[in-house]
Amino acid sequence: MATDYYAVLGVRRDASQDEIKKAFRRLARELHPDVNPDPKTQERFKEINAAYEVLSDPQKKQVYDLGGDPLSANGGGGGAGGFGAGGFGNFSDIMDAFFGTASQRGPRSRTRRGQDAMIRLEIDLSEAAFGTTKDIQVDTAVVCNTCSGEGAAPGTSAQTCDMCRGRGEVSQVTRSFLGQVMTSRPCPQCQGFGTVVPTPCPECAGDGRIRSRRTLTVKIPAGVDNGTRIQLAGEGEVGPGGGPPGDLYVEIHELPHAVFQRRGDDLHCTVTIPMTAAALGTKCPLETLDGLEEIDIRPGTQSGQSVPLHGRGITHLRGGGRGDLIVHVEVTTPSKLDAEQERLLREFSKLRGEERPLGQFQPGQQGLFSRLKDAFNGR
């Protein structure tokens, strides 16, 4: 054979079909007669069209690679010399070279998957710590009971669209620099479905679904936190045409607690005691999530110290065990004393030799809140 089709397209003999198609599209954009009217360019375009006609057809390509006449395969073709049926047997590939990939054709389905839905659920700290079960009311789309999702009134059915004859699209011929070009668009009568519903269901207006309020039971696992989302598969919106439902997501919102502040799986609170109790020691009752407990304040406790109660915090969401309850101690100093209290306090300071204390100064002394911050940061 006098013509090397691989050389014409500028590809290797072991090139894949994708490489051959890319090479043809690139050359077609450069050499098409309407883009480049030079006579030599037109002859070159005929060559690449003939080469692509052979190499893009597996049967013709096999005959060509074995040294036979590829134009005799499948009844022959238009050859390299013309722009007839054979020469433009790959017209869609030329269109793709200029306008990109053609869209998929055919009617679209009336039945589609529904959207996901999300609701917000408020729970208290105890429910977050130990888990609970909640009944929630959800307003979502469900399958219409009247038409069972078909969208047509009882006793009727969807009919083939007479405009597109069930194809879901209509074609239009326009002129361009390539000549006459056929374009397609969704059928305006059936909206691309290929069928029409002459008598829509009176209950759902042809959508195949209606809004309904349902009650669902949700299991809240122990350890959930603000923003935790619980997925309920298949409990979301039913799709158009009675399509499969989406999922329902329950987003947890934890209500503030009057005493405890949550940090991860640990709980924190502050107890305020007078300096006499801090000096002598005392016991303070505290209503924890597990019931009433006494907090042991040891003698000499300083303001800013903490008392940990291990395992009294939030249950770990993943894995066993619980966090801790940290009780922070704040010691108050009396600001007003009567005469007798002042006399006794001065006598007490004299006994301790603290009438005129010099104080102990240290560089970078931090306040209570700074010390707490550094303690939690591991400093």
Give the angle subtended at the CA of 66 by the CAs of 63 and 70, to the nearest 5°. Answer: 25
Token output for 174: 């326009």
* Dihedral (Cα; 4, 8, 9, 15), 10-degree rounding: 20
Neighbours of 362 (CB within 10 A): 6
- What the block records as the tokens of 134 is 């909640």
CA-wise closest residue to 252 among 125, 115, 116, 114: 125
Residue 71 backbone dihedrals phi, psi, to 5 degrees? -75, -10
Helices (H), the chain: 5-9, 17-31, 39-55, 58-65, 91-99, 125-130, 275-280, 339-351, 368-376
Contact predicate 117/138, CB 8 Å: yes
To the question of whether residue 164 is assigned a binding role by annotation, the answer is yes
> What span, in angstroms and rounded, lies between the C-alpha atoms of 269 and 262?
9
Residue closest to 313 by CA, chosen among 354, 267, 374: 267
Pair 154, 147: CB distance under 8 Å: yes
Flag whether 284 is marked binding.
Answer: no
**Contact yes or no for 194/149 (Cβ under 8 A):** no
The phi and psi torsions of 181 (rounded to 5 degrees) equal -125, 135
Contact 111, 239 (CB under 8 A): yes
Is residue 269 marked as binding?
Answer: no
* Residue the block writes with tokens 């959800």: 138
Q: Are 334 and 319 in contact (CB under 8 A)?
A: no
Q: Yes or no: say if 313 and 267 are a contact pair by the CB < 8 Å rule.
A: yes
What are 249's two structure tokens? Answer: 């997501």
Q: What is the DSSP letter of 180?
A: E
Q: Residues within the annotated binding site for Zn(2+)? A: 144, 147, 161, 164, 187, 190, 201, 204
Q: Residues within the annotated binding site? A: 144, 147, 161, 164, 187, 190, 201, 204
